[in-house]
Amino acid sequence: MTTTTIPDTMTAIAHERYGEADVLASAELPVPTPAPDQVLIRVEAAALNPADVFLMRGRPRVLRLAAGLTRPTIHVRGSDVSGEVVAVGDKVAHWRRGDRVFGEAASGSLAPFATAAAGRIARIPAGVSATDAAASVMAALAARDGLDAAGLPAGADGTGKRVLIVGASGGIGSFAVQLAAAQGAHVTGVCSTRNMDAVRALGADAVVDYTREAVTDLPAWFDVVFDNVGAVPMESLHALTTPTGVVVPNSGLDGPDGGAIMRVLRLHARRILLRRRYRGFYSAPSTAKLEAIGRSLADGALTPLVDEVLPLSRGSEAMARVASGHARGKVVVTP
Ligand SMILES: NC(=O)c1ccc[n+]([C@@H]2O[C@H](COP(=O)([O-])OP(=O)(O)OC[C@H]3O[C@@H](n4cnc5c(N)ncnc54)[C@H](OP(=O)(O)O)[C@@H]3O)[C@@H](O)[C@H]2O)c1
């Protein structure tokens, strides 16, 4: 049973224009009303992702077709959320007030209250903290989906497979290292000097410090190259694979492949025209996928690498940390 009284307004972190993290500021906004197929969540934790940075910047510009041509139509950023259901839409049968859930917020999670579609949340298992649950939405799902796309699906025995994870200390990479290692694969993580111990602790068998050794100097012996950074051309990563190995170029950032849209076009062109082994994926949450992540959190198979937990009033700082491209795991914000 919930004890939460829902106020009319809330102090959220919002922006009126596109730009860097300094466009974000505290603002008094109406508490959102859930649509018929949504719930309203009293936020206990929010976690940030590069996708939130893209929406804050309005870049790549093509995003503005959906997010607002000249200014953002949704003013509150943040997608990953965990908390307590305090209201349900008319068509929601599965959730009740008082349920503790995690998943994808529709109205922005850098706020005390956020709406979420009923099919994009799952129950937080007993013993799992709100911080860990929020930290495990987009990044853990993308790590799972990326490995699935690479031919190492959940439950498959990865013994004997050699997996290279570029960006192993980032949100997705830190989950991908744990997932691939748990499946028995031999995991090589690429990170900078300061993150080497953390990546080893996640289960990597070998760690490459990209500040001292070029990734492109590695031997051509990987069955899977999962790139979450985009700093090395995908053809150079392809050169590190065995004759049957695959590359998963996963990055929305600018880089030698030309940014998110060009990367996807090149990936498909190389896959189809050159018959090279590239795999792409688009990760979207569902209750079933989140439940699987929740089980892994509950049984200790997955532990999020949390960079820092900041109060909501420091939401702009939290976003700047993610925007730097150098967060160690997840940045979490609590109201
Ligand atoms: N396909 C999909 O559906 C999907 C879903 C979600 C996200 N994505 C994309 O996936 C990408 C990665 O997301 P993320 O959340 O993992 O990002 P992230 O957490 O922001 O990644 C930050 C990490 O990248 C590391 N890094 C930076 N430069 C590096 C380099 N040259 N070599 C190795 N590591 C480097 C940093 O380590 P240091 O500080 O040590 O440099 C830091 O730990 C994003 O571009 C995002 O848009 C795709």
- Per-residue tokens: 242: 């065995």
| Phi/psi at 86 (5° precision) | -115, -10
Helix, strand, coil abundance in the chain, percent, nearest 5 = 30, 25, 40
| pLDDT of 152 | 97
Asked if residues 173 and 228 have their Cβ atoms less than 8 Å apart, the reply is yes
Cα 230 to middle of ligand 1, angstroms? 8
Tokens encoding 214: 């070029």
Closest CA to 114 of 322, 312, 304: 312
What's the rounded Cα separation, in Å, for the pair 267 and 249? 8
If one counts every other C-beta atom within 10 angstroms of the C-beta of residue 301, the result is 12
Nearest-atom index, ligand 1, CA of 328: 43
Query: For the chain (length 335 residues), average pLDDT per consecutive 10?
Result: 78 98 98 98 98 95 92 96 98 97 98 98 98 98 98 96 98 98 98 98 98 97 97 95 95 79 84 85 96 98 98 98 97 97
Handedness of CA 91, 92, 98, 103 (dihedral sign): negative
DSSP state of 21: G
Instruction: Give residue 54 CA to ligand 1 midpoint distance, Å.
Output: 13
Q: What does the alpha-carbon distance between residue 129 and residue 308 come to, in Å, rounded to a whole number?
A: 15
Q: Is the CB of 329 under 6 A from ligand 1?
A: no
Cβ(144) – ligand 1 distance below 6 Å = no
Residue type, 180: A
Instruction: Specify whether the CB–CB gap between 311 and 39 falls below 8 A.
Output: no
Of ligand 1's listed atoms, the one at least distance from the Cα of 193 is 40
Q: What is the pLDDT of residue 267?
A: 85
Rg for the chain (alpha carbons), in Å? 20
Give the per-residue pLDDT at 1.
42
Structure tokens at 106: 């529709």
Q: Which atom of ligand 1 is nearest to the CA of 251?
A: 45
Domains and CATH numbers, the chain: 9-137+285-334 (3.90.180.10), 140-272 (3.40.50.720)
Q: From 48, 49, 217, give the residue whose CB has the most ligand 1 atoms within 8 Å, as the site to mutate.
A: 49
- What is residue 275's predicted lDDT score, i.e. its pLDDT? 76
- Identify which of 318, 319, 163, 151 has the alpha carbon closest to the alpha carbon of residue 228: 163
What is the length of the chain?
A: 335
Q: Using CA atoms, how far apart are residues 91 and 331, in angstroms rounded to an integer?
A: 33
Please tell me the predicted confidence (pLDDT) of residue 4: 67
73 and 19 Cβ atoms separated by less than 8 Å: no
Q: Ligand 1: does its nearest atom lie under 6 Å from the Cβ of 195?
A: yes
Nearest CA to ligand 1 atom 26: 167
Distance 4 CA to ligand 1 centre (A): 37
Amino acid of residue 103: G
Q: Is 237 in the pocket of ligand 1 (CB under 6 A)?
A: no
Q: What is the C-alpha to C-alpha distance for residues 200 and 168, in angstroms, rounded to an integer? A: 10
pTM metric for this prediction:
0.96
The rounded Å distance from CA 50 to ligand 1 centre is 8
Among candidate residues 54, 111, 57, the one with its CA nearest the CA of residue 86: 111
Select from 326, 328, 330 the residue to mutate for testing ligand 1; criterion: most ligand atoms less than 8 Å from CB.
326
Exposed, middle or buried by CB within 10 Å (0-12, 13-18, 19+), for 74?
Answer: middle
What is the C-alpha to C-alpha distance for residues 227 and 84, in angstroms, rounded to an integer? Answer: 35
Which of 293, 308, 264 lies closest to 131, judged by CA? 308
